Amino acid sequence: MYRTNTCGELRLSDAGKKVTLAGWVQRIRKMGSLNFVDLRDRYGITQLVADDSADPKVLEVLNSLGREFVIQAKGIVCERQSKNPKMPTGDIEIKLEEIVVLNSAATPPFTIEEQSDGGEDLRAKYRYLDLRRGPLQRALKLRHQMAIETRKYLDSKDFMEIETPFLIKSTPEGARDFVVPSRMNPGEFYALPQSPQTFKQLLMVAGFDRYCQIVRCFRDEDLRADRQPEFTQIDCEMSFVEREDVLQMFEGLVKHLFKNVKGIEFNEPFERITYDEAMNYFGSDKPDLRFGMQMHEITSVVQGHGFSVFDSAEYVGAIAVPGCAGYSRKQTDELTEWVKRPQVGAKGLVFIKLGDEVKSSIDKFYTPEQIQEIAKACDAQKGDLILILCGPKHKTQVALGTLRLEMGARLGLRKGDVFKPLWVTDFPLLEWDDETQRFYAMHHPFTSPKPEDLDKFFSNDKEALAQVKANAYDIVLNGNEIGGGSIRIHDRKVQERMFEILGFTHEQAEYRFGFLMNAFKFGAPPHGGLAFGFDRLCALFGGQETIRDYIAFPKNNMGRDVMAEAPSVIDDAQMDELFLKSTYKKEETK
């Protein structure tokens, strides 16, 4: 037997027992005549001790130990002289009787402790060593619990977990596909799924009624901050449902996870706002509701008083920042520079300080009464700092929303331990792209328009099409989209019209989605569903911003696995087999 106990479980009540532990040497210390070893495994750390009068064989092995050696230690559980209340095992130590080196270890390139001294790149290269550290062990444990609780809940609601294929037909729409050459079918390629969307819809046609899967998805995107080329979704679909059924079911899942993983109960239904409201009040389709500071449109209040910057703007909006009327000139200058950064993209910033004295950067253009009118339109209180941006509507709303988040963060209002989930509904169905001069599906091409907008949907008027709302919804937590879905199109005519709007010819639609369209001929039930971003959900539950810690072996932001060094070139024979060589060589000699 390698061990009788783990390194995390022995307590004072075990004193006197003879035990065998196994694990990694975290630290070796000598204090006077005493030799200490901190022995670590997944469950915790236990202190081993031997004084200079111990068996010389034990002392000899102790002298040979290095960090991260794998050892087996036998001894008696004893009460510690100086206890460590910070450690669950801090009341005891093991008085060594025997110690065996199971494997030696090269000196690790960084310290394997709560806080490591290793930089990010180094830790990524030795990911398996980084994974030995407490924070990462806890992150993956949380992820495991989340997966278990998700399955428990969904199983209790009659969902069936069904696996869908990874080698599928390439149907680029949305992100770029990763493709896989087929050796047996020269010149042809599979794609890795961006999501199991079409398959889960086919499962509804097949009558499975409630499907779920914790599933890997693949998207070949330029990696924006904190995205991974492969990531995991909790993917779900239901038949014979309306939007309300889907929202209730998955609000239930999120509440179940909060209760069972974090011990937090939500007794009230989650808030719901429409996409238009989200943009108008928060300048974002994923608003952070942990704090107020809502946006106010003040276009009509400020226009017509001779201030040409406002008069010529499509939109003027403001936030009232509580308690910041005392901002100095230096501080407002700094904020002005901040909003002008390309990431925010505002042209300038107008402010009103509602201190004992009211001061603003537009005093020349507005009377004190008019300034009060503006303050009223912003619901501002004495002591507030009003910040105003103007310009094209959507762009300015987004910039003001970004400023709102920044001020929330500066005022410490975005607390890690406060959770504010909400639903955002009624997204636009289509987005016009000026560059390619066509509409794109805002969610995906299988999302149904809202029934009341079907006339617009079938019209040929670009303006009308841009106004069509989708029966789509996102679930948002603390300013992050954690999931999204929709009621699907199950009517062949509507689906054909959708492909037409997206600019596919009949043949193109047939080539890409023929299998789905064909299936819809055979009795597709009304259906809908959604998918959660599982990695992000875990990170938020863990109180972290980054998903990388919640994935055992993530890629870096160039999409590389720096540990195994993938992607990598493959040898000529492999290339030949896949009929790739000739093209590759041609590229090379260009």
Which positions lie near ligand ASP, rule CB under 6 A? 195, 197, 444, 484-486, 529-531
How far from 246 is each of 249, 251, 475, CA to CA, in Å? 5, 8, 11
Q: Which is nearer to ligand ASP, 479 or 529 (CB)?
A: 529
Q: Which is nearer to ligand ASP, 401 or 529 (CB)?
A: 529
Scanning the structure block, which residue is given the tokens 């090269």? 106
C-beta nearest to ligand ASP: residue: 195
| Tokens coding 128 | 């398996």
Phi, psi of 7 (to 5 degrees): -80, 5
Q: Where are the beta strands (DSSP E) in 150-286?
A: 160-161, 179-181, 189-191, 210-218, 230-239, 271-274
Q: Which is nearer to ligand ASP, 46 or 164 (CB)?
A: 164
Are the C-beta atoms of 318 and 296 separated by less than 8 Å?
yes
CA distance 449 to 239: 18
Q: Report in angstroms how near the CB of residue 196 gets to ligand ASP at its nearest.
A: 7
Q: Which is nearer to ligand ASP, 232 or 360 (CB)?
A: 232
Q: Which is nearer to ligand ASP, 23 or 484 (CB)?
A: 484
How far from 574 is each of 180, 187, 579, 585, 588, CA to CA, in Å? 13, 14, 9, 14, 17
Q: Report in angstroms how near the CB of residue 503 gets to ligand ASP at its nearest.
A: 21
Burial class (CB in 10 A: 0-12, 13-18, 19+), 467: middle
Instruction: Give the number of other Cβ atoms within 10 Å of residue 199's Cβ.
Output: 21
CA distance 268 to 178: 42
Q: Report in angstroms how near the CB of residue 182 gets to ligand ASP at its nearest.
A: 25
How far from 554 is each of 110, 143, 461, 531, 559, CA to CA, in Å? 19, 14, 45, 21, 9
Cis peptide before 567, with omega less than 30 degrees from 0? yes
Q: Which is nearer to ligand ASP, 193 or 479 (CB)?
A: 193
Q: Where are the beta strands (DSSP E) in 345-457?
A: 350-354, 358-360, 385-391, 421-425, 430-433, 438-441
Q: Report in angstroms how near the CB of residue 515 gets to ligand ASP at its nearest.
A: 17
Q: Report in angstroms how near the CB of residue 577 gets to ligand ASP at its nearest.
A: 33
| Tokens coding 115 | 């806080």
Q: Report in angstroms how near the CB of residue 228 gets to ligand ASP at its nearest.
A: 14
Are the C-beta atoms of 23 and 71 separated by less than 8 Å?
yes
| Residue 23: half-sphere exposure toward Cβ, Cα within 13 Å | 24
Phi, psi of 419 (to 5 degrees): -120, 125
| Tokens coding 378 | 């912003």
Are the C-beta atoms of 531 and 233 separated by less than 8 Å?
yes
Q: Report in angstroms how near the CB of residue 250 gets to ligand ASP at its nearest.
A: 10
Q: Report in angstroms how near the CB of residue 566 gets to ligand ASP at its nearest.
A: 24
Q: Report in angstroms how near the CB of residue 146 gets to ligand ASP at its nearest.
A: 18
71: closest CA among 137, 110, 21, 9? Answer: 21
Q: Which is nearer to ligand ASP, 486 or 495 (CB)?
A: 486
Scanning the structure block, which residue is given the tokens 């993938």? 566
Q: Which is nearer to ligand ASP, 224 or 329 (CB)?
A: 224
| Tokens coding 151 | 């399955």
Pairing of strands 160-161, 70-79: unpaired
CA distance 166 to 195: 9
Q: Which is nearer to ligand ASP, 123 or 512 (CB)?
A: 512
CA distance 459 to 150: 42
- Tell me, what DSSP letter sits at residue 451? G
Q: Report in angstroms how near the CB of residue 160 gets to ligand ASP at its nearest.
A: 16
Q: Which is nearer to ligand ASP, 203 or 405 (CB)?
A: 203
Q: Report in angstroms how near the CB of residue 246 gets to ligand ASP at its nearest.
A: 9
Q: Report in angstroms how near the CB of residue 439 gets to ligand ASP at its nearest.
A: 18
Q: Which is nearer to ligand ASP, 213 or 486 (CB)?
A: 486
Q: Report in angstroms how near the CB of residue 470 gets to ligand ASP at its nearest.
A: 11
Q: Report in angstroms how near the CB of residue 487 gets to ligand ASP at its nearest.
A: 10
Q: Which is nearer to ligand ASP, 534 or 550 (CB)?
A: 534
End-to-end CA gap in the chain: 63
Instruction: Give the number of other Cβ atoms within 10 Å of residue 161's Cβ.
Output: 14
CA distance 24 to 39: 6
Q: Which is nearer to ligand ASP, 475 or 530 (CB)?
A: 530
> Which residues on neighbouring strands pair with residue 528, listed in sequence order?
238, 487
